[in-house]
Amino acid sequence: MFNSGSTGFMLVCTSLVMLMTPALACFYGGLASKRNILGIMVQSFVSMGWSTLLWFVVGYSMCFSGTFGDGTDFAGIIGNFNRAFLAGISPASAFTGNGEIPEYVFIAFQMMFSILTPALITGAFVNRISFKAYFLFLTAWQFLVYYPFCHMVWGGGLLAEWGVLDFAGGIVVHATAGFAALASVFFVGARVDKNSTPNSIPLVAIGSGLLWFGWYGFNAGSELRVDGITAIAFLNTDIAASFALVTWMVIEWAHARKPKFVGILTGSIAGLATITPCAGFIPIWAAPIVGIVAGGTCYYAVMWKNKRQWDDALDVWGVHGIGGLVGTVLLGVFAYTGINSAGADGLVFGGASFFVKEVVAVVGASIYAFVFTYILLWLIDKITPVRVSKSEEIEGIDSALHGERAYDEGVL
């Protein structure tokens, strides 16, 4: 009944995307100061548990039940509740998108995206936000940002009906998370000590390498079967990340007179985020262009952010927000139905209307995520203080909130 090759491949891809959340914890944990390693890592791991629970109870149903075209969702913005607690789904249920894999595999694959997306935001407010406020934020943000955009773009909602495409999450994941991160920076404010340095660059490298590894599942797996599009999405991902890495390195080398390792690692993540919406829709020759643009725009976005003194501690907006936005715009430029007949023709192939749709969708999603996140944090602050006290921040989140330390400094 099912295609065993596609099913096995998708189970591997699901595992790879799951790995990206602990990889993110390592990436962020290494960049954080020594007193705040566990605090930022806890936030990623809690998302793994709590987001899974929400997805099982109602998240999957809200994202992938009902469509705007059939009038069975809520105004094309959110799905219905017919599949709450995965009701009506059995091991024999096929994913209706292609009939090749069990629906359970699709559920698990999409669940990993819902886990990772809010975890991305946490790098912006490292060592400043209370755990209680984060938990409330994680919950509400899933319901009011991630689930609606997941449904609108991937679940047959309003944007999908309009013709908006997003292969693996430029809009749904990176733009929403990146601009939510920027809003959180504005609301929470700057750190007491903005000069805190990474505690472990090797840990950053391990996290970065695992993220790159997991991204193959993230992008290639978004084809949801094994075919030629799977292969081109895989290759486009690697090419764009590599070109972005080298571009970032060259620009930083020219400016700082030294090729910095953290910059090289950050450049690769910028390329990965930027190729995400394009991976299975654009020709191979466009991937180097995407990578070069990603490395340059994300680098200068981070430099501009620093000049403006926005304390996005781990550059979530500059890498993921700008990467997701630019990648979606470039999808509107380079998409080609000769590569993927399920896609569209971009600007260079005569698809001006598709280009406009992509620009409107990603700008609208970014503005919504920014505004709603700011309002959400304001509301949470009325329930419980969002920002930790100055004394807790100075002591460090690890000790003050979790009663633990990453390293026992009394032991050699």
Q: Looking at residues 268-293, what average pLDDT do you find?
A: 98
Q: What is the mean pLDDT of the chain?
A: 96
pLDDT at 196: 72
**What local confidence, expressed as pLDDT, does residue 221 receive?**
98
CA distance 328 to 166: 7
Q: Give CA–CA dist 271/22, Å, rounded.
A: 20
pLDDT at 411 over 80: no
pLDDT band at 189 (very low <50, low <70, confident <90, very high): very high
Q: What is the DSSP string of 284-304?
A: GGGHHHHHHHHHHHHHHHHHH
Q: Rounded mean pLDDT of 358-378?
A: 98
Tell me the two tokens of residue 201. 């660059």
State yes or no: pLDDT of 104 exceeds 90: yes
230 in helix, strand or coil?
A: helix
Per-residue confidence (pLDDT) for residue 410, from 0 to 100? 59
For the four alpha carbons of 161, 164, 169 and 175, in that order, the dihedral sign comes to: negative
Answer whether residue 122 shows pLDDT above 70.
yes
Instruction: Tell me if 181 sits within 8 A of 323, measured CB to CB.
Output: no
| pLDDT of 90 higher than 80 | yes
In the structure, what pLDDT confidence band is assigned to residue 408 with cuts at 50, 70 and 90?
A: confident
Comparing CA positions, the residue from 327, 316, 326, 328 lying closest to residue 373 is 316
Contact 167, 75 (CB under 8 A): no
What is the chain's length?
412
Share of the chain above pLDDT 90, in %: 93
Distance CA 92, CA 104 (A): 9
Run of H or E including 172: none
CA distances to 55, 153, 279, 304 from 100, in Å: 23, 22, 21, 46
pTM of the model: 0.96
- What's the CA gap between 395 and 87, in Å, rounded? 47
Please give the domain boundaries of the chain with CATH numbers for all domains: 4-386 (1.10.3430.10)
Residue closest to 269 by CA, chosen among 6, 7, 20, 10: 20
Is the predicted pLDDT of residue 412 greater than 70, yes or no?
no
User: Of all helices (H) and strands (E), which one includes residue 170?
Assistant: none
In the structure, what pLDDT confidence band is assigned to residue 192 with cuts at 50, 70 and 90?
confident
Where would I find the H helices in 122-260? 131-141, 147-154, 158-162, 176-188, 201-220, 228-256
The percent of residues in the chain predicted with pLDDT above 70, rounded, is 99
pLDDT band, very low/low/confident/very high, at 1 (cuts 50, 70, 90): confident
Task: Please say whether the beta carbons of 105 and 94 come within 8 A.
Answer: no
Closest CA to 162 of 299, 391, 365: 365
Backbone angles phi, psi at 128, to 5 degrees: -125, -15
